[in-house]
Amino acid sequence: LRVLSPMAPSVYQRYLLAAVAEYARANVESGRWPKDEALKLSKDAFAKLLPRGLKTPNQHLFEIMDGAKAVGALWYTVNGKGKFRTAYIYDIIVYPEFRRQGHASRALKALEAVARDAGISSLDLHVFEFNRDAQTLYKKLGFRTTGMNMAKAI
């Protein structure tokens, strides 16, 4: 059964609303953005990365499927050229009612297979420091920390 299915336009609009709100919330929780500006900053970031929505070149948006049921979404882009191409995962989300059932693991393993077949050498992503559950999952799947952002409020 197919784990990743291309995102439909009707799904994209719902995904975008939820993803923008979640990214704003995560940036506030991490201390990166002030609460009163977070939603605008998030909307601006998504508009810059996805100016043509699903038709934005080199942006790949999928629904995570469990049989015929969509249980989440995954978005990545491909960076680099030649042997050093990476799939950068901008977002992976499993809808709350489907969490802790292995869907994120299945989606990342499916992406890994797709990427390997396309000659991509690594999967990269950012995870917020406060998101310990995601960090645990990524480490379990073989991801390792390659850098760290730090900030000091003044």
Q: What is the pLDDT of residues 64-73, one digit of tens each?
A: 999 999 999 9
Pick 107 or 129 by higher pLDDT: 107
Q: In the structure encoding, which two tokens stand for residue 127, read together?
A: 């995870």
Position 74 confidence tier, pLDDT thresholds 50, 70, 90: very high
Q: Using the 8-state DSSP alphabet, how is residue 82 labeled?
A: G
Q: Taking residues 75-88, report their average pLDDT.
A: 90
Q: Taking residues 60-84, report their average pLDDT.
A: 92
- Distance between CA atoms of 12 and 89, rounded to whole angstroms? 17
Structure confidence at residue 1 (pLDDT):
64
Pick 149 or 32 by higher pLDDT: 32
What residues does 131 pair with on adjacent strands? none
**pTM for this structure?**
0.89
